[in-house]
Amino acid sequence: MNVARSFNNWRKYRQTVGELGRMSTRELQDLGINRADIHSVARQSVAR
């Protein structure tokens, strides 16, 4: 994996964590996400 791709994956991961972290617990529940699962969901978003 090249440096640019690694950086873009890291940036996408941080953006996802940030966006989900700003949501209320209720909003996360509506999406079927537990607050403790935010980092896992973000890692999955990068793996796609």
Higher-pLDDT residue of 24 and 47 is 24
**Token pair of 10, please?**
């890291």
Using the predicted structure, report yes or no on whether residue 1 has a pLDDT greater than 70: no
Alpha helices in 1-48 (DSSP H): 3-22, 25-31, 38-47
Task: Tell me: pLDDT of 48 over 80.
Answer: no
For 13-42, write each residue's pLDDT tens digit. Answer: 999 999 999 999 999 999 999 999 999 999
Q: What confidence score (pLDDT) does residue 12 get?
A: 96
Global confidence as pTM: 0.87
